[in-house]
Amino acid sequence: MPNIKSSKKSVRTDKIKTSSNTSYDSRVKNGMKKLDRAIKAGDKAGAEEILKTTLANIDKCASKGLMKQNTCDRQKSRLNKKVKEMN
């Protein structure tokens, strides 16, 4: 535990930021997993809905600086490609 007042505060704020960042990150990962399951099940309408929310979550991660923009663009491109290739 830090002794300096500003260090104590930074420990508290880091804890809050870490939990927030983790939730955004897990939203993206869970969305990608749900999308994969929908694609394997052949549910095109469900996959398109999940795709919308997942792309929005990926953009939020990029705007908050949790992921680099190129990483987000690459992931979005791959997910779009998977959904478009569905029958």
Q: What residues does each domain of the chain span?
A: 27-84
> What is the per-residue pLDDT across 8-42, written as a single tens digit (0 to 9) for each?
999 999 999 999 999 999 999 999 999 999 999 99
| Average pLDDT in the chain | 95
Cβ pair 2, 11 in contact under 8 A: yes
pLDDT > 90 fraction of the chain, expressed in percent and rounded: 95
pLDDT of residue 1: 84
Position 87 pLDDT exceeds 80: no
Residue at 46: amino acid letter: G
**Which residues 6+ apart lie within 8 Å of 71 measured at CB?**
none
Token duo for residue 52? 């919308």
Token duo for residue 6? 């500003």
